[in-house]
Amino acid sequence: MNRRHIIAATAAAVMAGVVPAAAQTYPTRPITMIIPFAAGGPTDVVARIVAEAMSKNLGQSVVIENVAGAGGTTGATRLTQQQPDGYSIMIGHTGTHAASVALYPNLRYNPVTDFAQIGLVNTNAILITAKKALPPNNLSEFVAWLKANERTANNAHAGIGSVSHTTCLLLHAIIGVKPQSVPYRGTGPAMNDLVAGQVDYLCDQVVNVAPQVRAGTIKAFAVAQAARNAALPDVPTTAEAGLPAYQVVVWNAMLAPKGTPEPIVTRLNQALVAALNDDGVKARLAELGADLPTGNLATPAGLRAFLEAEIAKWTPVIKAAGVTASN
């Protein structure tokens, strides 16, 4: 949704007087926002920017709680166990609310029906990054290096089913390699170890990558989307770098537990949309390379349909990769 669409949606709601009665007193106390990964990673960074703006709109603090583990599914499970009263929400993503279905045979939640959808928060390009001391200097050299060092190369990621895991799985499937896997509780800590040179490479979201590439602490070989990312204009696309088949974009979505009253979901959506329209939020997300939702994705109904489509898209991809996790 571009700026004009977001503003139009908000204005229409206000003009129609559709702020429901039950939402008029909500919220009366702080709201907890579960982040299913470690602090300092891409989900956490985006969440804190948006939560700060939502706090101002709602007149109550939105407090971040990092609940990491099992590729983000621990935090998502935690949300389903909270009261559906609007005081517990979360940021889920492509991993927790799409890839998890195929990866976790014992997943304790249905990513669509066990949640009340609030709206899509942002989309994020994926970049192939490596520690500075890794010999390759471009994507072709990296692919050759990975094939030659398959047994010893180690791939950092944020746990089975996280986007850093599934997006590198896709890369491995295209190249035809199965390197060592090094799981973390988020790509915040994984990135720290990449910068320190303790792991070889990481497929990560632009939000986490852009500051490190600008600081010259890691290498970025390519961005896996059709156009270059405005936050890292010098990094080639995968097509430009010789691997056009590798295209993947991931997303963050705001969710509440199933059964959260509709007026409260509406109020939270209004606060989210207002946050995404805030000039300061837009500038900070743009600097990190994140994109705002398009079309109707920032609406509860739009997000629900999108989640169903994403599960349908990712399930065969994960099955083809032959990877599962048990929890």
Binding positions for ligand MLT, rule: CB under 6 A? 37-38, 41-44, 93, 95, 158, 162-164, 186-188
Nearest residue (CB) to ligand MLT, 158 versus 220: 158
CB of 296 to ligand MLT, least distance (A): 24
Nearest residue (CB) to ligand MLT, 43 versus 74: 43
CB of 110 to ligand MLT, least distance (A): 20
Quote the tokens at residue 268: 């939270």
Peptide bond preceding 27: is omega within 30 degrees of 0, i.e. cis?
yes
Contact between 109 and 307 (Cβ < 8 Å)? no
CB of 284 to ligand MLT, least distance (A): 16
CB of 322 to ligand MLT, least distance (A): 20
Nearest residue (CB) to ligand MLT, 9 versus 323: 323
C-alpha to C-alpha distance for 152 and 32, rounded to whole angstroms: 42
CA–chain centroid gap for 316, Å, is: 20
Nearest residue (CB) to ligand MLT, 140 versus 181: 181
Quote the tokens at residue 102: 């195929």
CB of 114 to ligand MLT, least distance (A): 20
Nearest residue (CB) to ligand MLT, 9 versus 120: 120
Residue type present at position 20: P
Tokens 């632009």, located at residue = 206
- Rounded to whole angstroms, the maximal C-alpha distance in the chain is 64
CB of 95 to ligand MLT, least distance (A): 5
Quote the tokens at residue 275: 């946050």
Nearest residue (CB) to ligand MLT, 163 versus 243: 163
CB of 111 to ligand MLT, least distance (A): 14
Contact between 104 and 72 (Cβ < 8 Å)? no
The DSSP string of 137-206 is -SHHHHHHHHHHTTTT-EEEESSTTSHHHHHHHHHHHHHT---EEEE-SSHHHHHHHHHTTSSSEEEEEH
Nearest residue (CB) to ligand MLT, 67 versus 143: 67
Residues 6+ apart with CB under 8 A from 162: 37, 71, 72, 95, 186, 187
Nearest residue (CB) to ligand MLT, 31 versus 163: 163
How far from 146 is each of 30, 219, 238, 251, 316, CA to CA, in Å?
Answer: 48, 15, 16, 27, 25
CB of 129 to ligand MLT, least distance (A): 12
Contact between 262 and 20 (Cβ < 8 Å)? yes
CA–chain centroid gap for 47, Å, is: 10
CA–chain centroid gap for 138, Å, is: 26
Contact between 325 and 110 (Cβ < 8 Å)? no
CB of 91 to ligand MLT, least distance (A): 9
Nearest residue (CB) to ligand MLT, 252 versus 270: 252
